[in-house]
Amino acid sequence: TVADESGNFMPGVNIILKGTAKGTVSDSEGKFSLSVPGNDAVLLITFVGYGTTEVQVGSQTSIEVNLQPDLTSLDEVVVTGYSFDKRRELTGSVSTVKTKDLTVTPTGNVEQLLQGRVAGVTVISNGQPGTTSQVRVRGFGGFGANQPLYIVDGVPTLDISFINPDDIETTTVLKDAGSASIYGARAAAGVIVYTTKKGKKGQKLAVTYDLMAGVSTPGKGQDMMNPTDFADWTWNAIRNTEDANARAGGVAPDYATAFAKFNHPQFGGGLTPVIPDYINVGGAAGVTGSVDLAAEKLKYNIDPRNGSIYQVVKANKQGTDWYKAITRTAPIVRQTIGVSGGGETHRFYIGLSQQDQQGILKNNSFKRYAARANSEFDVLPNLRLGENLQFTYLQRLGLSGGDGGRGISADENDILSAFRMPSIIPIYDEFGGYAGTAAKGFNNPRNPVASRDGQANNTAYQAMAFGNIYLEYDVIPGLTLRTSIGGNYYQNRAHNYSRWQYENSENNSAFGYSEGGSYRFGWTFTNTANYKKTFGDHGIDVLVGQEALNTGKGWDDNESGLNPFSWDPNFINTTNTNSRQAGSYYDNGANMSSYFGQVKYAFKEKYILTGVLRRDGSSVFGVNHRYGTFPAVSAAWRISAEPFMQSVSFISDLKIRGGYGTMGNSNPIVQYNKNNQYTLYGGNVGNSSYDISGSNSSATTGFYRTSIGNKDTKWETAVTTNIGIDGQLFGGKLDVIIDFWKKDTKDLLYQLPLPATVGYNATPPYVNVAKMQNKGIDIFLGNKGNITSGLSYEVNVNGSFLHNEITEIGGGQKYMTTVNPGFRGINPIRNQLGQSISAFFGYQVQGIFQSSEEVSTAATQSGADIGRFRYKDINNDGVINDADRTFLGSPVPKFTGGMNFTLRYKNFDLTAYLYTSLGNKIFNVSRWFTDFYPSFQGAAISNRVKDSWSPTNTGATIPIFESASNFSTNTQSSSFYVENGSYLRLQNVTLGYNLPTALLEKFKMTKLRFFVSANNLFTITGYNGLDPAVGGAADTNFGIDVGNYPVTRGYTGGLNLAF
């Protein structure tokens, strides 16, 4: 019988009689039988993710083996590019992740699960269910399209969200050229190879059921002022403004006049503010006393189609917690049924899964139903036919943020609205309608509850099919031919409704409806021949192959209209709307044609040499540069096998690896501008139409140059160098993997900005001009052992240091002029030579001006006054201007790492998993809205402002709270907004209990485990915003927090059951 470390039976374990080809596989109860020639027989027992165990049979007739999981088993079979390798023989930099690590956290997209699991992989994500994440393997190779290539059962894809974590068998990250350049032109950003579960030969039918259910809690919002404080601080702002004006005019401040002039519509014009009882009674503000509600109800109207709006809104004197109002405790369920089995000539796995995850924001959710069927048949003893196929239904609702959700932190979304709505405004008016800033004096935030509720009828879905069919033929022993045809079909449709608003100061003045959809079909055709043979001490492994693919052809369409007769969603379609618009778009995809080969030679498993060569052709490049060739060599020396090392007793195994090679990248063009080689003209009603006939109601569409082509554009090339060691110390107690690496990307694809004279609307072509360097150290340490009998532990730590630097921009340019995102007039980003990508740029706040003397003796600074920012005169010329801007930090973490700690005691297991990101900065521009009075005066104020500068609070970092909005207050990008984004988070703690074997047998089960988990139990950070996990949609532009969707605490429980 074979069982795992916790005593669970292990089906599908390989048992081989050492020195022979004879072997068997354990059945669903972990049982096996094998006849052995005699007492000397040795069984080799192997299973993916577990160490090889050798058992001396001796005279035993019944053998019970408990396999121990391996941290980095040297004999682990690693799925690499187009083939399998033993970790012992790897020469490149490869990391693997265990499936059980991928299934502990309740996340909708498996890419997110790599966070903190693999040294050298940086993942920045947010709390939205189903969001995409910034997944970066060894830094940011280029200015865009840096996401890794995913290979699922041999088929490449860039979107992995359809995969159910419970279906995954192996996850392998190929990090350097030595391992990844077999994928040539698409490998520069790293390759992540997934295989899904398969049945084993001779395996009895096994059924597994995995359930996870729980909740995420919204946590607390930002600390905003209550109505009384809000009114008082509004008064402070007027007082402070009067002080400044009086000082400028050389007169004494006259507060009474200042308040009278200011005359707040709600709080009056007296020396102290008066909190009204009603903030809106039919348009009148600041109403004190009682209101005849019965009479008012007769005038009530919240339907703009029926004339003027008439609302009665009571002041919420206790204060509305708007964050609480838009959030909820959100449930999550994930369950998977797996059925696997195999006979002599066939093997299969079927996975049926459901995930339903609600977001902490209302009307935000992720659903996935997936059916996976993998099977393989031995048509002949040496001919196998197989398929891996998944059908998926995916639904993401209420997701916001660019590029599939990862851009949310930079959006002015409902989360920001919750921190802009003054707490005195209630959620609803007296008669059930929404309350909002239609009550005067509170500026323009929109009621976020109304906004979330308005999305209730929005719907969307994606239907996908993904997989491949393959044939494998063993021509002679060691030589296998394989052909595979893979496909990727995708279809989606979405319907969106937008409210005709009435409750805000700025309202949408129409009811909108839009719908749209798209489909894509891509294919991959791969043929390989692999020859593996050992001749005495010499082992060779040769792979040659050919691949052709199309990234996906298809159409998109979208339609919209306004003001249908009825707002009932059952009535609405575009036919029933007015002002209809329709559009469509087609995409031919990109074609690629590739040839590749790999030769590996090993001498006594001591000296290993690998060479890889791939030649890729792509339709996205002009004929001059359509093909690129990407070679790599790597070697390893098992130094521990040398006689001179035998005396070093604490080293069990030590291998030194080194590799050098190039990988290509065409992703920026494939993803963003497939027509890069062509100059194109186009036009649409928005950009180039004109009412040439003077009709007042129609416009003719004209054509202008939309993009400029370049036929000389070619592949970008990443040159990587990697030196690493793999070691096992102290008899396998400590595993060490360390890699020193450097990745220089040259001929970097960049849309080199053209002078405006060329035409601002014509997209510049990508040209190969820039250079970027990434370098770092990846470390993995694993330790395991027994504390006492029955109590064992396992700790593994991984960490990576990263340095990212732009080393050339091209065209003689010093920075990227075209990437200059603006946030209400603040431009925080500059991608400049010698700095990291997406670095923050602006004025360095030296302090707050404390006195008129300080203002007059300091460098000349526009708008300078007491209590305002004093910027540093970087060039010491006595004037603060553009030239004094400097770099204020980078959102690229200097170090990321994870720690996984497991304790096992008898049938219990306890796992804790921590993640840390260090050295990254966040540009918290949300403070522009909440910490400054004039940004949108009347909107909510942060409680932080109570610590703003005043003559009696001179040590403050927040400037004086006043009306002025100028260069010295809130209008410039400055270090005020830059905060330390480092954090340490306990991502998951899980306590599990396995039913003892004896009990299991009674119920005919092979495994029953119960678990409870807490996710994101705590986060240690100095960051002021909601959550320090701040990403972005584009790598040249991330780390900006306007309204980040936080990763919050959650609790789950569940069971794992197997028959």
| Count of residues of this chain found to bind other proteins when the rule CB under 8 A is applied | 99
**Rounded to the nearest whole angstrom, what is the least distance from the CB of residue 284 to other proteins in the complex?**
7
**Rounded to the nearest whole angstrom, what is the least distance from the CB of residue 273 to other proteins in the complex?**
15
Decide: is 205 part of the binding site for other proteins (CB under 8 A): no
Report the alpha-carbon distance of residue 585 to residue 285 in Å, rounded.
49
Minimum CB distance to other proteins smaller for 783 or for 965: 965
Q: Which two tokens stand for residue 821?
A: 């995102």
**Rounded to the nearest whole angstrom, what is the least distance from the CB of residue 455 to other proteins in the complex?**
16
DSSP state of 325: H
**Rounded to the nearest whole angstrom, what is the least distance from the CB of residue 824 to other proteins in the complex?**
7
H or E, element range at 298: helix 293-299
Q: Which two tokens stand for residue 363?
A: 């009307």
**Window 36-55: residues binding other proteins (CB under 8 A):** none
469, 485 Cβ separation under 8 angstroms: yes
Report the alpha-carbon distance of residue 442 to residue 597 in Å, rounded.
67
638, 716 Cβ separation under 8 angstroms: no
Q: Which of 881, 886, 907, 943 binds other proteins (CB under 8 A)?
A: 881
**Window 844-863: residues binding other proteins (CB under 8 A):** 862
**Rounded to the nearest whole angstrom, what is the least distance from the CB of residue 301 to other proteins in the complex?**
10
Decide: is 811 part of the binding site for other proteins (CB under 8 A): yes
Decide: is 756 part of the binding site for other proteins (CB under 8 A): yes
Report the alpha-carbon distance of residue 383 to residue 387 in Å, rounded.
14
Q: Which of 52, 66, 457, 508 binds other proteins (CB under 8 A)?
A: 508
Q: Which two tokens stand for residue 873?
A: 């005169």
Report the alpha-carbon distance of residue 684 to residue 28 in Å, rounded.
63
Report the alpha-carbon distance of residue 674 to residue 691 in Å, rounded.
33
Q: Which of 201, 440, 493, 894 binds other proteins (CB under 8 A)?
A: 440
Q: Which of 211, 485, 754, 903 binds other proteins (CB under 8 A)?
A: 754
**Window 670-709: residues binding other proteins (CB under 8 A):** 678-705, 708
Decide: is 575 part of the binding site for other proteins (CB under 8 A): no
Q: Which of 24, 217, 581, 721 binds other proteins (CB under 8 A)?
A: 581
Minimum CB distance to other proteins smaller for 315 or for 816: 816
Q: Which of 354, 443, 483, 619 binds other proteins (CB under 8 A)?
A: 443
Minimum CB distance to other proteins smaller for 559 or for 909: 559
Q: In 3-state terms, what secondary structure has residue 506?
A: coil
131, 404 Cβ separation under 8 angstroms: yes
Binding mask 535-574 for other proteins (x = CB under 8 A): ---------------------------xx-----------
Beta-carbon contacts of 594 under 8 Å, excluding residues fewer than 6 positions away, are 184, 185, 546, 547, 548, 614, 615, 616, 617
CA distances from 59 to 19, 42, 56, 64, 227 (A): 19, 11, 9, 13, 84
Decide: is 762 part of the binding site for other proteins (CB under 8 A): yes
**Rounded to the nearest whole angstrom, what is the least distance from the CB of residue 460 to other proteins in the complex?**
22
**Rounded to the nearest whole angstrom, what is the least distance from the CB of residue 492 to other proteins in the complex?**
24
**Rounded to the nearest whole angstrom, what is the least distance from the CB of residue 199 to other proteins in the complex?**
53
Sign of CA dihedral 36, 37, 42, 44: negative
Decide: is 284 part of the binding site for other proteins (CB under 8 A): yes
Minimum CB distance to other proteins smaller for 267 or for 466: 267
Q: Which of 487, 517, 569, 753 binds other proteins (CB under 8 A)?
A: 753
Give residue 184's region: left, alpha or beta (phi > 0; psi -120 to 50): left
What residues pair up with 544 in beta bridges, in sequence order?
529, 597
Q: Which of 33, 39, 308, 566 binds other proteins (CB under 8 A)?
A: 308
Q: Which two tokens stand for residue 881?
A: 């201007």
Decide: is 815 part of the binding site for other proteins (CB under 8 A): yes
Which of 34, 27, 89, 90 minimizes the C-alpha distance to 57? Answer: 34
Minimum CB distance to other proteins smaller for 33 or for 862: 862
Minimum CB distance to other proteins smaller for 721 or for 813: 813
Distance between alpha carbon 105 and the CA centroid of its chain, in Å? Answer: 15
328, 216 Cβ separation under 8 angstroms: no
Beta-carbon contacts of 294 under 8 Å, excluding residues fewer than 6 positions away, are none
Decide: is 507 part of the binding site for other proteins (CB under 8 A): yes
Q: Which of 191, 224, 309, 880 binds other proteins (CB under 8 A)?
A: 309
**Rounded to the nearest whole angstrom, what is the least distance from the CB of residue 744 to other proteins in the complex?**
25
**Rounded to the nearest whole angstrom, what is the least distance from the CB of residue 147 to other proteins in the complex?**
29
**Rounded to the nearest whole angstrom, what is the least distance from the CB of residue 145 to other proteins in the complex?**
23
Decide: is 271 part of the binding site for other proteins (CB under 8 A): no
The letter for the amino acid at 51 is G
CA distances from 848 to 198, 852, 868, 923 (A): 65, 12, 5, 20
Binding mask 884-903 for other proteins (x = CB under 8 A): --------------------
The letter for the amino acid at 554 is G
Q: Which of 966, 984, 991, 1012 binds other proteins (CB under 8 A)?
A: 966
**Rounded to the nearest whole angstrom, what is the least distance from the CB of residue 210 to other proteins in the complex?**
46
Q: In 3-state terms, what secondary structure has residue 191?
A: strand
**Around 503, how many Cα atoms within 13 Å sit in the side-chain half-sphere?**
24
Report the alpha-carbon distance of residue 712 to residue 138 in Å, rounded.
28
Q: Which of 490, 932, 949, 983 binds other proteins (CB under 8 A)?
A: 932
H or E, element range at 997: helix 997-1002
**Rounded to the nearest whole angstrom, what is the least distance from the CB of residue 265 to other proteins in the complex?**
6
Q: Which of 263, 329, 646, 957 binds other proteins (CB under 8 A)?
A: 263
Minimum CB distance to other proteins smaller for 381 or for 686: 686
Beta-carbon neighbour count of residue 290 at 10 Å? 8
**Around 995, how many Cα atoms within 13 Å sit in the side-chain half-sphere?**
17
Q: Residues, the chain, total?
A: 1059
Angle, CA of 466, 468 and 469, to the nearest 5°: 150
Which of 242, 278, 232 minimizes the C-alpha distance to 262? Answer: 242
Minimum CB distance to other proteins smaller for 566 or for 684: 684
β-pairing verdict for 2-3 and 65-66: parallel
Q: Which of 255, 473, 887, 936 binds other proteins (CB under 8 A)?
A: 936
Q: Which of 382, 444, 786, 957 binds other proteins (CB under 8 A)?
A: 444
**Rounded to the nearest whole angstrom, what is the least distance from the CB of residue 380 to other proteins in the complex?**
54
Q: Whole-angstrom distance between the N-terminal and C-terminal Cα of the chain? A: 16
Q: Choose the stretch contacting other proteins; rule: CB under 8 A; options: 183-191, 338-346, 440-448, 528-536.
A: 440-448
Beta-carbon neighbour count of residue 376 at 10 Å? 20
Q: Which of 297, 324, 604, 814 binds other proteins (CB under 8 A)?
A: 814
Q: Choose the stretch contacting other proteins; rule: CB under 8 A; options: 120-128, 179-187, 306-314, 867-875.
A: 306-314
Q: Which of 56, 566, 761, 856 binds other proteins (CB under 8 A)?
A: 761
Binding mask 820-839 for other proteins (x = CB under 8 A): x-x-xx-x------------
**Window 222-261: residues binding other proteins (CB under 8 A):** 241, 244-245, 248-249, 258, 260-261
Decide: is 505 part of the binding site for other proteins (CB under 8 A): yes
**Rounded to the nearest whole angstrom, what is the least distance from the CB of residue 132 to other proteins in the complex?**
26
Q: What are phi and psi of 424, to 5 degrees?
A: -70, -20
Report the alpha-carbon distance of residue 392 to residue 490 in Å, rounded.
9
397, 458 Cβ separation under 8 angstroms: yes
Q: Choose the stretch contacting other proteins; rule: CB under 8 A; options: 732-740, 843-851, 877-885, 1021-1029.
A: 877-885
